[in-house]
Amino acid sequence: MIDLNNPVIRGYLIRLVGEEGLEMIKNMPEGEVTDEKITESTGILLNIVRRTLFILNENKLAVCRRERDSSSGWLTYLWTLDMSDIEPQLVKEKKRLIKNLRTRLAFEEDNVFYSCPEGCTRMKFNEASECEFLCPLCGEDMMFEDNIIFIKKIQKRLESLEN
């Protein structure tokens, strides 16, 4: 079983399925079980259990097997957690995050920004000039925003992720 106290794994699962989904994962019975049995064991609402199971299945962290009742023809879905694929999922997530940070870094480096001192809005130079450097929401004079601190934070975050 995976370490749900690991902050990286915990954060990934919370982002994926939310706090209730994580609670379901923690308290899910061993082996193949139905969604109704999971609800019974965990006390989590059936619709949340089903949503969580489908999200986990889409991300290859749960396996589903269908069984048809020969007399009634009803389908029963049996679920098993399979967290063995979480490491590749985390690597994929890390690559996505690095790509997004690089895009944001390029955007921040390539533009000059003006912002409202009241915190209403932040605009690129050309947008601010179209508004005559007045905030379109409150009318205050827009101020030049030195984004070098933000750029350095992005660079530092990228550096830590790439190492």
What's the pLDDT tens digit per position in 93-104? 999 999 999 999
pLDDT digits (tens, 9 = 90+) for 10-51: 999 999 999 999 999 999 998 999 999 999 999 999 999 999
Pick from 49, 135, 61, 128: nearest CA to 93: 61
Q: Where are the domains of the chain?
A: 7-84, 88-162
Q: One-letter amino acid identity for 107?
A: F
CA–CA separation, 63 and 58 (whole Å): 9
Q: Is the Cβ–Cβ distance between 35 and 50 less than 8 Å?
A: yes
H or E segment at 138? Answer: none
Q: Does domain 7-84 have CATH number 1.10.10.10?
A: yes
CB atoms within 10 A of CB 25: 23
- Cα end-to-end span (Å), the chain: 27
Q: Rounded to two decimals, what is the model's pTM? A: 0.71
Q: Which residues contact 54 (CB under 8 A, 6 or more apart)?
A: none
